[in-house]
A and B are shown apart, each in its own frame.
Chain A
Amino acid sequence: MIDEIRLRILQRNSVIQDVGAALLPKLFRGLPVIGDKPCPDGCKKCAEVCPTDAIKTDPLSIDLGLCLFCPLCEEVCPEKIIHYTNNFNLAVDKREKLIVTKETEAVSPEKASEKIKKYFGKSLKLRQISAGGCSGCELELNALSNVNFDMGRFGIEFVASPRHADGVVITGPVTKNMAHAAQICYDAVPNPKIIILFGACAISGGIFQDSEETERKFLEQNKIDLFIPGCPPHPLTLINGLLNWLDKK
């Protein structure tokens, strides 16, 4: 008993009290900002170096759905026009909102409808489907239940059975071999239900967008409620995205 108490004291209070105000390391690559300076004539270095073709030039834009938040474009830009801030608020409700341009200062999801808030505002149970996820996203989703993030305090939890769930969180590019199982799992979730795409692979295929082993029909046929960009996304990106969307802040 004494040992248990000693261990409990060591734990101290590790929970992040205000998940919206948490500060991530300076080097963490979150929301990119595109500076006002004009690009040098004909310079396409950032677009050329991007491993997923997330960058378009003239005018310069970055698609966060494809972006892997690697340091390449920022590193190669001669004018330091692209800069990744440590802002982890990246969740949105529509795919097109993930395009960051010069004008973008922040991205956020539209508040969910009254109906969704009524159904899921107080308690949201999610079933995760890993469909080719490399385990990076899975580790970050698991981290949401640890003592630091403690997502359960907001009434949001992962459950074992799709029958108990209000929605699915999909990770990975959706491989051919998992497409069928993912569909069965989604069908097993009772209505009304939501879909959250977690990570670049799920949103766009990411680095696997050209793979012949993926089958993304399922994602194209259903309405996606929330996009969580990143590779993998930080746990705070999902928590804050959900809290914003459900208007719980």
Chain B
Amino acid sequence: MNFLTVKNGEVFYRNEIEFLNRNDFQDSVLNALTSGYRMIGLFPVDKKNPNKIVSILSDSVSSSLYIIGCEIPGNKLEFESFANQFPQTNYFECELAENFGYKPVNHPWLRPVRKQNIILGNQLYKFFNIDGDEVHQVAVGPIHAGVIEPGHFRFQCHGELVYHLEINLGYQHRGVESLMLSANPNQRIILSESIAGDTVVGHTYAHCSAIESMTDTQVNLRAQLIRSIAEELERIAMHLSGLGGIANDIGFALPAAAYGRLRTLVINSLAFLCGSRFGRGLFVYGGVRFDFNDENLKQIKGNLEIIKKDISAINDFFFSSTGALLRFENTGIVSKDFAVKIGLVGTAARSCGIELDTRIHFPYGAYRYFPVSPVTLSTGDVFARARLRALEIDESLSFISEQLENLPNGKIISDLNKLRINSGVISIVEGWRGEIVHTAFTDEEGKILQYKIKDPSFNNWYGLSLALRKTAISDFPLCNKSFDLSYAGHDL
């Protein structure tokens, strides 16, 4: 095979990528997919030149990323769809079609990704529709009954049971990827912080790592640890928020309130470190802006002590309640087989028994020296997705406690060099929701030519659709909350 093989965060030159003709490209990608690799990107190297695209595939067994290019001359931007055999590529193909006018030939089901009801430039897209006795359609959104982001959901129901759920997004599209190209470095960091406001640390970490790789900047271990601690704090905070939301969605007020109280302690800990409850302002290129000192260490450790003391009592109470378990178990199941086929990532994948965690399989930053233990469950239902988050909180708490006791000394900011010219990098971070991929290419002047972002939600929304099949529509809020996906991260 002609793939360029790199590691997470390893910089490469653009001319190292081999650009094949259409047929060879199709064969190579098919080969890689058949070997069990996962697609994590499919887009042009240069936004203005759609004729040259790259496909990025990842293999968690060898911790390697494979890049292969394709050059299609002329106006006929077509390739044979991989999605019939490998549904995981479906959405990547839809995105390529929508953004750059490609036509994936024989694609099983071309859908809009961020546009409203339009595919292939100007063709009207019609929602899937089932006819029959007692079949009815329920349309919800974009505005939902709560303080959440907008998205449109179309349920095809037979009585209470959902036959099919179609999810139409794009309402949050702000043009982040385009803005990344025109923004100055300060603005780029702020933009990364705003890709998904619940994953500030995750996305900013991925972005800073990408830039640091392309400038050959070494980040000190102390700064790397502060980043990882912030990342784990974000993970704990959002897992607590998710568990509180799940409790709320089954009308279980006491654990909902208890998880909410603990979450406040975690996000306030981030504020003790950097002034923002979400970790905004913490990241700079080359390290972090804020350091631990005796005062904030004492405050943060105090907060973590309370959480450690209380969390097990709350978890025991929540996960031993028969009423709660009846709602969770066997609800919204995604089988491992399905999950692999559609390419689920993050907590949703680990709940189906797929061992996939960037911190372990594509280690970066401090996780290279201080590994975390993998947590997986196998049932793939709401219970697994909720329980997994409770288990990950414990894992993150022990990671933080250990690292806070062993912080090495050192500078927290390193000087930044210039961006390498004609280069590229793939930077992957395990956000609390799952795999965050930032891919950047520079041009001959060292300016950013292409910046591509993949939030874990991009993979996982499809999982929610499938989880709803043969599930009661009344369980939708619960299933939705158990996946806990980002609209803004998907829409960009």
A→B interface (CB under 8 Å): 3-4, 6-8, 10-11, 14, 24-25, 27-29, 49, 51, 68-72, 75, 84, 128-143, 146-148, 158, 160-161, 172-173, 175-178, 181, 185, 201, 206-208, 210-214, 231-232, 234
Contact = CB atoms under 8 A, between A and B. Distances in A.
Contact of B313 (A7, A129, A185, A211): A7
30 contacts: A7-B254, A11-B258, A14-B264, A24-B271, A25-B271, A25-B275, A27-B271, A28-B276, A49-B186, A70-B190, A71-B275, A71-B281, A72-B186, A128-B147, A132-B172, A133-B488, A136-B197, A136-B200, A139-B197, A146-B264, A147-B261, A158-B147, A173-B174, A175-B173, A176-B173, A178-B150, A210-B179, A211-B174, A211-B178, A232-B278
A130 B173 CA distance: 12
A70 B271 contact: no
Given A27-B290, A70-B280, A148 B261 contact: yes
A138 B147 contact: yes
A6 B313 CA distance: 9
Given A4-B317, A160-B146, A181-B150, A213 B198 contact: no
A79 B273 CA distance: 24
B148, B171, B274 — most chain A CB neighbours (10 Å):
B171
Contacts of B150: 130-131, 178, 181
B197 A135 contact: yes
A206 B15 CA distance: 37
B149 A138 contact: yes
B464 to A, nearest CB: 17
A11 B197 contact: no
B175, B254, B258, B272 — most chain A CB neighbours (10 Å):
B175
Interface residues of B, number: 62
B194, B257, B275, B486 — most chain A CB neighbours (10 Å):
B194
Contacts of A210: 179, 182
Contacts of A213: 173-175
A138 B174 contact: no
Contacts of A139: 197-198, 241, 278
A146 B261 contact: yes
Nearest to A129: B143
A124 to B, nearest CB: 15
A135 B274 contact: no
Interface string B122-149: 0000000000000000000011011111
Question: 6 tightest A-B contacts by CB?
Answer: A136-B197, A134-B197, A27-B275, A160-B145, A146-B260, A213-B175
B78 interface: no
B109 to A, nearest CB: 22
A195 B166 CA distance: 32
Contacts of A136: 194, 197-198, 200, 278, 280
B436 interface: no
Contacts of B175: 208, 211-213
Interface of B: 114, 116, 142-143, 145-150, 170-175, 178-179, 182, 184, 186-187, 190-191, 194-198, 200, 241, 254-255, 257-258, 260-261, 263-264, 268, 271-278, 280-281, 289-290, 296, 299, 310, 313-314, 316-317, 486-488
A147 B174 contact: no
A207 B146 CA distance: 25
Contacts of A4: 254, 317
A135 B254 contact: no
B400 to A, nearest CB: 18
Contact of B276 (A14, A29, A138, A207): A29
A136, A146, A148, A210 — most chain B CB neighbours (10 Å):
A136
A130 B174 CA distance: 13
B187 A51 contact: yes
Contacts of B198: 134-136, 139
A6 B281 CA distance: 39
Contacts of A232: 197, 278
B261 A141 contact: no
B151 to A, nearest CB: 10
A185 B143 contact: yes
Contacts of B142: 178, 181
A160 B200 CA distance: 27
Contacts of B149: 130, 133, 135, 138
Given A28-B275, A136-B278, A211 B190 contact: no
A178 B171 contact: yes
Given A27-B271, A210-B179, A213-B174, 14 more contacts: A7-B258, A10-B310, A72-B186, A130-B150, A135-B149, A138-B197, A139-B278, A140-B277, A148-B264, A158-B147, A178-B142, A181-B142, A206-B194, A212-B175
